[in-house]
Amino acid sequence: MFVLRPRSFDRLAYTDGDVALRPISFRTPFTRTAIPLGIGRAIAKRAEDIVLALTALMVLMIPMLVVGSLICLTSQGPALFRQERIGRDGRRFVMLKFRTMRHAAESPTDWRQATRDDPRVTRIGGFLRRTSLDELPQLLNVLSGTMSLVGPRPHAIGTCAGGRPFERITHRYAARHCVKPGMTGLAQVRGWRGETDTEDKLLRRLDSDLEYIATWSLSTDLMILCRTIVTVARMLNAY
């Protein structure tokens, strides 16, 4: 079990050994109770999440019901898939997705990431994954407060890159958990989507995650949401 220990990240660099990138810096040491965005900005971000998530649900409710029905009609099993992920402060939460794999293969205790041409993925599941429609149920996670619309993507417990657990690859990894995980993030709109099968891919994603935390603003969130729509439309690196 991954346990987040309180620690200071006031000298934490975006990229190990790369002096060209400015360090991430918080005014107070990072602890379980720290609010790196500040109270005022944290309230603004929460208000943004509630307003936009409610609006999206009202617009997408019927399409989501159609997708759920198609999943149940074309393969055995429930429409929704639930899996524990690592959230803010390293706490576990249950993330919702539309089921994209055969029910027997998509076990909540199976932490293997989907790969290209993964035989576990159903026909409709492949389409949902390419278009990221499988992520829409996470709007409910946003409303419940376990996720945000924008933030570092939540990882499953025990996932590895290059044969090593994410948290053992770099000491900087835990810093991404000082904010809520997001449905989309800076790393995703920069093209870092899909399987994280190498340590370099994880580090590139982590660079973007920490940059997002250090430079957060409402305008940044809106920019990322708009770019996400364009990225999804191109269906790049998703499978």
- For 197, other C-beta atoms within 10 Å of its C-beta total 14
Q: Dump pLDDT digits (tens) for 81-110.
A: 999 999 998 889 999 999 998 866 555 555
Q: Is residue 136 pLDDT above 80, yes or no?
A: yes
Amino acid 230 reads: V
Q: Is 80 within 8 Å of 56 (Cβ atoms)? A: no
Q: Dump pLDDT digits (tens) for 179-210.
A: 999 999 999 998 887 778 788 889 989 999 99
- Largest pairwise CA distance in the chain: 54
* Residues of the chain above pLDDT 90, percent: 41
DSSP 198-214: SHHHHHHHHHHHHHHHH
Q: Is 111 within 8 Å of 156 (Cβ atoms)? A: yes
Q: Can you say how many angstroms the Cα of residue 17 is from the centroid of all Cα atoms in its chain?
A: 26
- Model-wide pTM > 0.85: no
Q: How far apart are CA 215 and CA 9, in angstroms?
A: 15
Within 13 Å and on the Cβ side, how many CA atoms surround 17? 2
| Mean of all residue pLDDT scores within the chain | 80
Residue 20: its pLDDT value, please?
33
Residue 227: its pLDDT value, please?
93
Q: Dump pLDDT digits (tens) for 30-84.
A: 444 445 667 888 899 999 999 999 999 999 999 999 999 999 999 889 999 999 9
Annotate 217-231 with b (16+ C-beta within 10 A) or e (fewer).
eeeebeebbeebeeb
Q: 7-11, 163-167, 186-190, 211-215 — which is least confidently predicted?
A: 7-11
DSSP-based three-state secondary structure for 118: coil
Residue 38: its pLDDT value, please?
73
Q: Pick the more confident residue, 22 or 219.
A: 219
